[in-house]
Structure 1
Amino acid sequence: MALFRIGPNPESGQLLRGEGVYLRPPELRDYEAWAHLRDVSRDFLIPWEPTWPADDLTRTAFRRRVRRHQQEMEASESFAFLVFRDDDVLLGGLTLGQVRRGVVQAATLGYWIGAPHANRGFMTRAVRATIAFAFGGLRLHRVEASCLPHNEPSMRLLERVGFTREGYARAYLRINGVWEDHLLYGLVETDSIPPLRPAQP
């Protein structure tokens, strides 16, 4: 299996650190590692994501993606990150998007992890770092998330970091070409965050 190590770049802007992981915005130099991880994880990810465009893993599509993320971050509308292990191995991605201000002060959390790194606690640590950024750096009041009712690993992750299940939305998101029901979760800044459990070997 190929390993790609692309370290943090202090000039890239926002850098978040968690226990054993760090997050930073995607850059053009990340293309090969990102495309490889997405490709080897395709069967693992497709059931949980919107339909992949035919050119999804091309360099051109990745360049468009990076440009869009940069524009959204500059406008404080959305904050996209790649998640890395401390030894610079790419693990997955995370977005704190749909940032709403005014009387709402909320954002929506989404994430994916590569199949080789799933169920090892990495995304839990990345989400915890992002929550600290949301409530501290962005001064938000609320973070929302959703997952498919049969996505038990995602449900466990959200509940492990303190999210509360708040509702059920019918035909909420179009996943892999089908409008799917979703469980709705929320976390507010005054909620307690459970202590972090020891990392799995």
Structure 2
Amino acid sequence: MIAGEFTLSTIILGAFRSATLGYWIDVGYTRRGLATRGVQQVCQAARDEMGLHRVEASTIVANAASQGVLRKSGFEQIGTAPRYLHVGGEWQDCHLFQRILHDEALPGL
């Protein structure tokens, strides 16, 4: 059985070196720390294996649990976007988050 999924999309290299994080955990596996551990591992791979500088994520405003996962994983809220995602048949406001993975200069940039 699959407990959840984590994805990095919209991966942009060059000067931006950023990606967008998405994830979900099956309701039967919530409250076990799996989302937090998964987000932390994806961020570590984004930094160490892909050389990314930044990962961004968004949550529907009402999704306090996912916001907690992001905060525990080192993300900071950087804003709120009105009518950002179309979910449940309507446009939803979302909180926007980012995590800076490192500030060191990268070779070749």
TM-score by length of 2: 0.90
What pairs with 1:6-25 in structure 2 (closer than 5 Å)?
none
SS of match in other structure, 1:143:
strand
| Aligned residue number for residue 49 of structure 1 | none
1:143 alignment partner in structure 2: 55
Match of 2:19 among 95, 107, 115: 107
Q: What is residue 18 of structure 1 aligned with on the other side?
A: none
The structural deviation recorded for 1:120 is: 1.1
> More strand by proportion, 1 or 2?
2
Say which SS state the counterpart of residue 134 (structure 1) adopts. Answer: helix
Q: Does 1:121 align with 2:40?
A: no
Letter in 1 for 2:44: A
Q: Secondary structure at the match of 2:84?
A: strand
Give the percent of matched residue pairs that are identical in Structure 1 and Structure 2.
Answer: 37
Residue 5 (structure 2) aligns with: 93
Residue 154 of structure 1 is matched in structure 2 by: 66
1:170 paired to 2:82: yes
CA distance in 2: counterparts of 1:96 and 1:177, whole angstroms: 25
Q: Output the amino acid matched with 2:81.
A: A
Q: Partner amino acid for 1:144? A: E
User: What RMSD in Å do the two structures reach over aligned CA positions?
Assistant: 1.2
User: In 2, distance between residues paired with 1:112 and 1:162?
Assistant: 18
Deviation at 1:102, TM superposition (A): 1.8
Q: How far apart, CA to CA, are the structure 2 residues paired with 1:104 and 1:175?
A: 28
Mapped contact 2:18–2:55 kept (Cα < 8 A): yes
Structure 1, unmatched stretches of 5+, are 5-89, 192-201
Q: What 5-or-longer segments of structure 2 have no aligned partner? A: 104-109
Q: Shift of residue 107 of structure 1?
A: 0.2
> Deviation per CA, 1:116-160, whole angstroms, max 9, x where unpaired?
101110111111110010011010000000001110100100000
Corresponding letter in the other structure for 2:74: G
In the aligned structure 2, how far is the partner of 1:174 from the partner of 1:120? 28
